[in-house]
């Protein structure tokens, strides 16, 4: 998830705290933080799970 956050950092508002986000350990904490931030901005977050590799 860190790679995704860093890749699209140019699209975030200035109030997004990248260092705080990167400090969270575990995907569930990071996803929750991203969801909370999205809600605070009134936007929706879509989670797409790619299971193609498992076929």
pLDDT, tens digit (0-9, with 9 covering 90-100), for 10-24: 988 889 999 999 999
Give the side-chain half-sphere CA count within 13 A for 12: 16
Predicted pLDDT at 4: 86
Closest CA to 47 of 55, 18, 34, 39: 34
7: pLDDT strictly greater than 90: yes
> Which of the four pLDDT bands, split at 50, 70 and 90, describes residue 1?
confident
Give residue-wise pLDDT tens across range 23-55: 999 889 999 998 999 999 999 988 888 777 665
pLDDT of residue 54: 66
pTM: 0.70
């Amino acid at each position: 998830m860190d790679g995704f956050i860093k890749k699209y950092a140019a699209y975030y508002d200035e109030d997004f705290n990248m260092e705080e986000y990167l400090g969270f350990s575990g995907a569930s904490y990071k996803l929750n933080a991203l969801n909370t931030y999205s809600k605070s901005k009134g936007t929706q977050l879509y989670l797409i799970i790619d299971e193609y590799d498992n076929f």
